[in-house]
Amino acid sequence: MPVSAFAASPRVAALQVALRHHGVYSGTVDGLAGPGTATAVRRFQARRGLTADGVVGPRTRRAFGTLGRHPIGSRPLRSGMSGWDVAALQFALAAKGFPGGPVDGGFGARTDSAVRRVQTYAGLRADGVAGPATMAVLRRPGPATPLLRMPIAAPIGDRYGPRGNAFHAGLDFPAPTGTTVRSAAPGRVTFAGFASGWGLVVTVDHGDWKTRYAHLSRATVAPGESVVAGERVGLVGATGFATGPHLHFEVIVRGANVDPARGL
């Protein structure tokens, strides 16, 4: 079973970002201090003429340059900043259910959007500045996944969680084009159309949470329609940014992505 992103460490993720930037780590930014990360630290230290002991102390942090600077929580974070603390923030946002593009240590427009989304979720002023109140929200447990019906008769492929230096916010179900996609719960269709990246997508509202069905070849429902659990909402396709036919399935609770597998 994959290790939950919620059990991972933003500090380790920030280290992995710095190691990737310097070309000594090609693994996933998953926040887990495994042997691959430890080996990469020693490799980096050896290349910089440091004692290759695997300990990330002050000298190693300085050798990382910009991505080794600024301890977590040492300053409010806003657009245009970069550093160790920004990488940790990006990972924490994704783990909370608010992914904002690559975890790369640079606070750009997508990170700004993710910060504003988590602030709105928590009832804070959505100013895009990650200060103590925003960071406190990111340390709290996220919402639970509701009970779901399987949206498709197919095995799970890519799961929810870190992928490379980004975050996969749903489940992928590889299946032939035209395979039936069904609503995972009763609700009302709020969107059925094309969206950037997702291709043809259907969104169903279930109250304080919603489900998203992406990369479809055909939508079989329209906005405003009510659906019951198990009702067909579309057919599998490969529209949008898809390398092959599959269903990309997301669950969003009060604005936060959650792991759909926990509810199946």
Task: Give me the residue label for tokens 């792991």.
Answer: 259
What is the pLDDT of the chain when averaged over all its residues? 95
Angle CA 82–88–94, to nearest 5: 110
pLDDT digits (tens, 9 = 90+) for 4-57: 334 589 999 999 999 999 999 999 999 999 999 999 999 999 999 999 999 999
pLDDT digits (tens, 9 = 90+) for 166-208: 999 999 999 999 999 999 999 999 999 999 999 999 999 999 9
DSSP run (H or E) holding 57: none
Q: Dump strand ranges (E) for 134-231.
A: 161-163, 166-168, 171-174, 180-182, 187-195, 199-205, 209-219, 226-227
Identical fold at 5-139 and 161-263?
no
* CATH code for the domain defined by 5-139: 1.10.101.10
Residue boundaries of the structural domains of the chain: 5-139, 161-263
Through-space distance between the first and last CA atoms of the chain, rounded to whole angstroms? 15
Q: Cα separation of 53 and 39, whole Å?
A: 10
For residue 56, how far is the Cα from the chain centroid?
26
* CATH code for the domain defined by 161-263: 2.70.70.10
Closest CA to 179 of 136, 213, 135: 213
